[in-house]
């Protein structure tokens, strides 16, 4: 049984468009993290959210954590080809429980 569901599975957009990726958990974790992974590399941490209702911004990326601390979203504004990659959410209770990921492709 997968604890974290990510949607959509695939997303292809044109450069300059906005996109949103969703992560829904069946459990409450101590924190939720978002990672980005590129081919041939391991996941790289983007952000950690802890508090329900929390919003964090990282340049053109905005991360929201739901009030119940079970759902989260990643919004990218004015996407660029360099944003292409696999985006993963993970529940953190010391060990990480990952979602299956969303593959994002930004076309130039």
Partner 1 sequence: EAGVTQFPSHSVIEKGQTVTLRCDPISGHDNLYWYRRVMGKEIKFLLHFVKESKQDESGMPNNRFLAERTGGTYSTLKVQPAELEDSGVYFCASSQDWQLYNEQFFGPGTRLTVL
Which chain residues interact with partner 1 by CB under 8 A? 2, 4, 30-31, 40-45, 48, 50, 88, 92-101
Nearer to partner 1, 45 or 78 (CB): 45
Q: Report, in Å, the least distance between residue 32 CB and partner 1.
A: 11
Q: Report, in Å, the least distance between residue 44 CB and partner 1.
A: 7
Q: Report, in Å, the least distance between residue 78 CB and partner 1.
A: 27
Nearer to partner 1, 20 or 98 (CB): 98
Residue 82 DSSP SS3: helix
Residue with tokens 């919003």: 55
**Which residues, listed in sequence order, are joined to residue 102 by a DSSP beta bridge?**
87
Q: Report, in Å, the least distance between residue 4 CB and partner 1.
A: 8
**Number of C-beta neighbours around residue 100 at 10 A:** 14
Nearer to partner 1, 59 or 95 (CB): 95
Q: Give the Cα separation of 29 and 57 in Å (integer).
A: 21
Query: Which burial class, exposed, middle or buried, applies to 78 when counting CB atoms under 10 A from its CB (0-12, 13-18, 19+)?
Result: exposed
């Amino acid at each position: 049984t997968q604890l974290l569901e990510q949607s959509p599975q695939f997303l292809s957009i044109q450069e300059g468009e906005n996109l949103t990726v969703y992560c829904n958990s069946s459990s409450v974790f101590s924190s939720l993290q978002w990672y980005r992974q590129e081919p041939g590399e391991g996941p790289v941490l983007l952000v950690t959210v802890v508090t329900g209702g929390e919003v964090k911004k990282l340049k053109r990326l905005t991360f929201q954590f739901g009030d119940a601390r079970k759902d989260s979203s990643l919004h990218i504004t004015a996407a660029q080809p360099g944003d292409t990659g696999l985006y993963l959410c993970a529940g953190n209770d010391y060990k990480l429980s990952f979602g299956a990921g969303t593959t994002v492709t930004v076309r130039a």
